[in-house]
Chain A
Amino acid sequence: MVAIRCTGLSRRFGSSVAVAGLDLEVEEGEFFALLGPNGAGKTTTLYMLITLLSPSEGEAYVLGRHVVREAEVVRRSIGIVFQDPVLDERLTAWENLEVHAVLYGLPLKVIRGAILEALAWASLEEVAHRPVRTFSGGMKRRLELARALMHKPRLLFLDEPTLGLDPQGRRQLWEKVQALRREGLTVFLTTHYLLEAEEADRVGILDRGRLVALGSPKELKRRVLGQEEGSLEEVFLALTGRGLRDGEATVRERFFSYRRRGGEHSR
């Protein structure tokens, strides 16, 4: 079965085009990595698939359901780990998981068990009742990954999940994701750490809102570099050029700089 199908998927913000006519299919059970330089449209694509942004044109189906017309069904069957922590820092790990369980309509009698299972999976049982703000970046990531799996999604979206993690944290997270793959979970990853994408079944490279390459890492190397040796990074640079992509500060980046300056109410 096809897990994700996009046909002519586009999104404009005012006059700028973030994603332009994307055609893409991801099979169920596949580990798919979407690569691209900053501002290429990776996150915009992902946000359309997870029903947070409406497409300007084109269609997208997730697990056979339309992302706009059947958004609620789509939301029920997918799990997401966002780029930056999406946790309530004043709540404990337990309470954050409890919120998730209720939001996804887990039956009351399984909630406790599901929370315990998630905590064990993330090796966070010891700190279950500590506020999340005392957690390290790696602990938060593990908690978020465990949370994303709590409602047994069939498709897992990971948006640059290793951003800001140290090598140990990155390795740990990666082992978790690999284990999930072996269990047959479909994983859709966006990243610009190319080493992470080497292990993907297929890779799509997005540049300026367009898909410029699609295939297994081996295929891409053969096609672009003329040999199976070499790294995805070489493929990536060959396709997207070496120029720097400096965009404007995003709202989030502005927010963090505001917080660093000690802006009001930003606790």
Chain B
Amino acid sequence: MIWEAGRPWAAGVVWIFWKREVLRYLRDRSQAFGGVSRTVLWLLILGYGLGASFRDIEGYTYAQYVFPGVMVLNVLFAGLQSAIVLVWDREVGLLREVLVSPAPMLAVSLGKLLGGATVAVVQGSIPLLFAPLVGVPFSLKGLILSWLVMFALGIMVTGFGIVLASRMRTFEGFGSISNGVIQPLYFLSGSIFPLKGVIGGVGFLDIPEALRLELERLGIHTIGGGWVVELPLWLKALVYANPVSYTLDLLRYVTLGYPQLPLGLNLSVAFLGPLLAAVGAAWAMEQMRRR
């Protein structure tokens, strides 16, 4: 059979790299296990453990409050994992095969982004299985919207990870990704503590009835024995600077109907963030081709 290697078909390249990410995920059970164990740790153990003290956050239990946060945590891990594989790929994996091929790197990075985001959505959906347990109402609309939000965050995180991976020269740096990137993004996103509002704590400290009524008039739900959250300014600044905060808030809105940040701002970050990250990732991968 005789054929000529032609100009690679960009859509085919996107597809094959999407497929590669998904196949790699399906063949590595430890990643799914990580998703389940994180969910049990953060949603059930932390959720109910800490929930015994923080009994009420604006009418939600603590486990309900952290629920979207745990979804985000799984998305962060999955997205960065597929991106960081690049470092390994560059030295002993498939990357050199890709770099010497005539395929456009834009298509390669797009496939990788879509694949990483797909895996992120699957991983991020693991907490959804625990939704009835925690008392998060299920709705088809909520499910589809949360998939959309997680997909956007997945693209954002994978793209960011690709830029990061393309700058990494050593593998010893792998470990620091978890401690140095995933955890700060997670902790500083309003995932495990509320940004504002009233939370209920120990029962003996009652809010004066007058203040309670005043707050009700402003549309803030309070319970007896609650207090108003006031984050230190520096912490507030970090949370507001973290793009994950806005996506997480959007996810909390679609799963619980409880936003803490302006919806317009959330939507713009969820739309522009992935776009920017995708451009960055395509640029970073193009740079790898010629050193």
Contact = CB atoms under 8 A, between A and B. Distances in A.
B16 to A, nearest CB: 4
Nearest to A99: B16
A77 B24 CA distance: 30
A247 B162 CA distance: 31
A105 B290 contact: no
A223 interface: no
Contact of A90 (B2, B12, B27, B81): B27
B12 A108 contact: yes
A199 interface: no
Given A88-B94, A265-B84, A106 B5 contact: yes
Interface string A50-89: 1111100000000000000001110111101010111111
A41 to B, nearest CB: 16
Contact of A52 (B170, B175, B291): B291
A63 to B, nearest CB: 13
Contacts of B52: none
Q: Interface residue tally of chain B, by bracket?
A: 35 or more
A152 B172 contact: no
Contact of B174 (A72, A89, A103, A265): A265
A67 to B, nearest CB: 10
B7 interface: yes
A119 to B, nearest CB: 14
B171 A266 contact: yes
B284 to A, nearest CB: 16
A241 interface: no
Contacts of B232: none
B96 interface: yes
B125 to A, nearest CB: 22
Given A54-B290, A90-B24, A252-B91, A103 B97 contact: yes
A105 B92 CA distance: 24
A105 B9 contact: yes
A151 interface: yes
Given A53-B291, A91-B24, A85 B169 contact: no
A43 to B, nearest CB: 12
Contacts of B172: 258, 263
B96 A105 contact: no
Interface of A: 50-54, 71-73, 75-78, 80, 82, 84-91, 95-96, 98-100, 102-108, 110, 113-114, 117, 131, 147, 151-153, 251-252, 254-256, 258-259, 263-267
Interface of B: 1-9, 12-13, 15-16, 20, 23-24, 27-28, 81, 84, 88, 91-103, 169-172, 174-175, 289-291
Given A71-B290, A103-B101, A104-B103, 17 more contacts: A52-B100, A82-B96, A86-B96, A88-B24, A90-B27, A95-B20, A95-B23, A103-B13, A105-B5, A110-B3, A251-B91, A251-B169, A252-B92, A254-B171, A263-B171, A265-B88, A267-B28
